[in-house]
Every structure is written in C-alpha cells, then in structure tokens.
Amino acid sequence: MVGLFFTLVSAAGVIRLPDVFSRAHTASQADTLGAGFALAAVALTIGWDSTAAKTVLLLFFIFVTNPTAAHAIARAAYEEGVEPWTKGEERR
C-alpha cells in the first residue's frame, strides 16, 4: 500500500511538474520508495528464504541503476541546452 502510494505520487509529479529536470526528481521516487516498499513487502510475505534474498538483490540493482538512468536523462537534457525552469516562469 505504501509503495503504491509513492508510485502514485510519483506519477502525479511527472504530470504536474513543469520541466524535464524537476520531473527527473519525482521519477526517482517511484523507483526508490515505490519499488522499495513493494519489494520489501514481497520479501516479508515470502519469509526467510533464498527468494527473499533475491528480492533484496533486485532492490540493490534498482538502487544502483535508477540514479544512473535519472542522471543520464538529466545530463542529456542539459547538454541539449534545455533551460531549467525557474520560479516565476510560466508553466509549459
């Protein structure tokens, strides 16, 4: 449930935030806490088992790859010359 909540917030954020950079923030939310809580729940349901260990491993890889992907997107946007949105500007 908690995981679902954060994923939902993240999706709302992607729609509501004004530009690429701020959307990248919220996308990392879905992965960290959204997937985090979901996978933790899976691990707890399964109980002390090797499958649970694999779930933790899965989480680890998500935690490594997610920021890398977010960084890649943000960097690509930056290199392409996308100007970050600042306060006071009109929403795009």
Q: Which residues bind another protein (CB under 8 A)?
A: 6, 9, 12-13, 16-19, 21-22, 24-26, 28-29, 32-33, 36, 50-51, 53-54, 57, 63-64, 66-68, 70-71, 74-75, 77-81, 83-87
- Alpha-carbon distances of 15 from 9, 10, 20, 67, rounded to whole Å: 10, 9, 11, 20
Residue among 45 and 57 whose Cβ is closer to another protein: 57
In this structure, is the dihedral angle defined by the CA atoms of residues 60, 63, 69 and 72, taken in order, positive or negative?
negative
Q: CB of 41: closest distance to another protein in angstroms? A: 15
